[in-house]
Amino acid sequence: MSDQQLNNLIKMIDQIIANNLHQGNDDKVTDVAADHLHKFWARSMKQQVIAYAHESPAELSALAQSTIAKLEAVPE
C-alpha cells in the first residue's frame, strides 16, 4: 500500500472519530469508531493501520491511537 493510501486510511479514521464526537466521552467515541472499522473495513486496511500504529504512534491523534488499539483487540 502506498503512502497516499495509508494517509487516506488515517484521514478516514479521523473523520469517523469526528463524526462520532457527539457520543460523549472519548471511550465511547473510540468504541464506536473501532466497531465501524471492524465491521466495514477490509482486513488489509485494518492490518495496514495497525502496523502503522505500532511503527509511528506519534503520527496519530490520541483518539486514533485508542481506536486502533481497540480494533486490534477484536478477534477477526
Q: What does pTM read for this prediction?
A: 0.93
Distances (CA, A) of 18 to 13, 42, 51: 9, 21, 22
d(CA 76, CA 12): 21
pLDDT digits (tens, 9 = 90+) for 10-32: 999 999 999 999 998 999 999 99
| Cβ within 8 Å of residue 34, ≥6 positions away | 67, 68, 70, 71, 74
pLDDT digits (tens, 9 = 90+) for 27-68: 999 999 999 999 999 999 999 999 999 999 999 999 999 999
Nearest Cα neighbor of 65 from 54, 73, 74 is 54
